[in-house]
Amino acid sequence: MNANVRNTATDADKTIKDIVEFLKSQKVTLTIAESCTAGEVCSLIANVSGCGSILYSGYVVYDERAKQECLGVQAKTIQQFGLTSEEVAREMASGALSRHTPGEGRPNFALAITGTAESDDEENGVVCFAYAARNNSDVSLISETKKFEGSRNEVRSKAARHAIIHIPEFYRQLTTR
DSSP string, 4-23: HHHHHHHHHHHHHHHHHHHH
Does this model's pTM top 0.75? My answer is yes
Q: Domain range holding 110?
A: 2-175
CATH number of the domain within which 78 lies: 3.90.950.20
For the segment 121-144, the average pLDDT, to the nearest whole number, is 92
The pLDDT, as a whole number, for residue 5 is 37
Whether 2 shows a pLDDT value over 60: the answer reads no
The pLDDT, as a whole number, for residue 4 is 37
pLDDT in tens, 45-99: 999 999 999 999 999 999 999 999 999 999 999 999 999 999 999 999 999 999 9
- Count of structural domains within the chain: 1
pLDDT in tens, 151-167: 999 999 999 999 999 99
